[in-house]
Chain A
Amino acid sequence: MCQDELNALQRCQRGSREAFGLLVNMYKKDAYFIALGLVGNREDALDLSQEAFVRAYRHIRDVQPGRRFFPWFYQILRNLCVSHLRKRKHRLAASLDDTNCPEVEAQGDSFSPDAVVGQAETRKIVWEAISRLEPKHREVIVLRHFRNMSYEEIAEALGCNKGTITSRLYYARSRLKELLGPAKGGVLHDVP
């Protein structure tokens, strides 16, 4: 574990807000980008990642001595994002009920295309496919592809073993393959 992080965490547990500021600066990018990958738009990602830090600050004494901050913090961020997605899905379902459009597919996750960069067409299609994954599958794709985390880091953040991570990655990628494959007129077959 990084010594700076350990020191900041200990000082923070003794009530130093300045030390918490150091932890925020260490992990703000990870927090924001993970939230962006999970919920799909910038405003919500900023709001949720900041809220996660606020909650972490309130419960900072719960971090056990010797444990790293990030895996503990990640659980807070993840719960907030999942709960946000759930609310958004219910809101969308309710609004569809109100407008009497049962034929419109309840695609709960309004993923904004400007959240990602890359080759325009591919970007749009891949991002849309990722938005259609189940949250637990989207999560491993985000951590692996967008944050470049190792299996060990992902396993630590998710609180499970490496076997579970590889298995989830397999199912997540298989589903993506389905969504991007020729059967869906997708982009996979265009890649040499």
Chain B
Amino acid sequence: MTCHDYRDLMMGYLDNELTPEQRNRFEAHLSGCDMCRQELRQFRKLKAITDEVTLAEPEDRLWQDYWCGVYNRIERGVGWIVFSVAAILLAVYGGFKLVETIIEDPTVGMLLKAGLLALIAGLAILFISALRERLYFWGKDRYRNVRR
């Protein structure tokens, strides 16, 4: 084994994560390798100064209000979903009624009616196309069941 192969053991040695057998193996290598001894010394210094730094503890209030913050977000999320569904339903219904009124109104010109119908047909084609594409790729996605 080369020094390169002992790198992982060196980290484990530094962090007290080695089994007794691994520790003995590493110490045996260390006793005959100046380079690794030197490197270990530097890593020990690094660990010492890194350990001097700790993340600042926030005020107690943050912990007391923490769950409240999460709960409010969850509740608001539900609120937004309900609101969005209702808004979509109302918009579709209103749109449908508007189109119906325009089509049935004899005072509105044929050109405007045709334009409106073409607009709706175009939107429907775009929607179906995007939906079909989504379904096609979803069916072909080999990684859809892979958990991240």
A residues with CB within 8 A of B: 17, 21, 24-25, 28-29, 32-33, 36-37, 42, 46, 50-51, 53-54, 57-58, 62, 75, 79, 114-119, 122-123, 126-127, 130, 141, 144-146, 150-151, 163, 166-167, 169-170, 173, 176-177, 180, 187-188, 191
Interface of A is mostly: helix
Contacts of A21 in B (CB 8 A): 67, 71
Contacts of B51 in A (CB 8 A): 145
Contacts of A122 in B (CB 8 A): 49, 52-53
Contacts of A150 in B (CB 8 A): 17
Decide if B8 touches A180 in the complex (CB within 8 Å): no
CB distance from B135 to the nearest CB of A (A): 22
> B44-59 interface mask toward A, CB cutoff 8 Å, 1 = contact, 0 = none?
0111111111111110
Q: Which of B12, B46, B57, B70 contacts A176 (CB 8 A)?
A: B46
Decide if A127 touches B67 in the complex (CB within 8 Å): no
| Chain B residue with the shortest CB-CB distance to A141 | B50
Decide if B66 touches A170 in the complex (CB within 8 Å): no
Decide if A188 touches B46 in the complex (CB within 8 Å): yes
What is the bound-complex CA distance between A17 and B54, given in angstroms? 33
What is the bound-complex CA distance between A114 and B52, given in angstroms? 15
B residues 35-84 touching A (CB-CB < 8 Å): 42-43, 45-58, 62-63, 66-67, 69-71, 73-74, 77
Interface assignment of B104: CB less than 8 Å from any CB of chain A: no
Contacts of B67 in A (CB 8 A): 21, 24-25, 28
Number of inter-chain CB pairs below 8 Å: 112
Interface of B is mostly: helix
Interface assignment of B144: CB less than 8 Å from any CB of chain A: no
Q: Which of B45, B46, B56, B148 contacts A116 (CB 8 A)?
A: B56
B residues with CB within 8 A of A: 7-12, 15, 17, 42-43, 45-58, 62-63, 66-67, 69-71, 73-74, 77, 147-148
What is the bound-complex CA distance between A11 and B10, given in angstroms? 43
Q: Which of A62, A116, A187 contacts B55 (CB 8 A)?
A: A116
Q: Which of B48, B53, B70, B73 contacts A191 (CB 8 A)?
A: B48
Q: Which of A32, A54, A130 contacts B74 (CB 8 A)?
A: A54
With A163-B8, A191-B45 in contact, is A118–B53 under 8 Å at CB? yes
Q: Which of A29, A42, A50, A163 contacts B73 (CB 8 A)?
A: A50
What is the bound-complex CA distance between A176 and B53, given in angstroms? 14
Decide if B49 touches A126 in the complex (CB within 8 Å): yes
- Sample 9 A-B pairs with CB under 8 A, ordered by A number: A17-B71, A33-B55, A50-B66, A114-B56, A145-B51, A167-B7, A173-B11, A177-B46, A191-B45
Decide if A50 touches B53 in the complex (CB within 8 Å): no
| Chain B residue with the shortest CB-CB distance to A189 | B45
Contacts of B46 in A (CB 8 A): 173, 176-177, 180, 188
CB distance from A144 to the nearest CB of B (A): 7
| Chain A residue with the shortest CB-CB distance to B9 | A166
| Chain A residue with the shortest CB-CB distance to B48 | A191
What is the bound-complex CA distance between A104 and B71, given in angstroms? 42
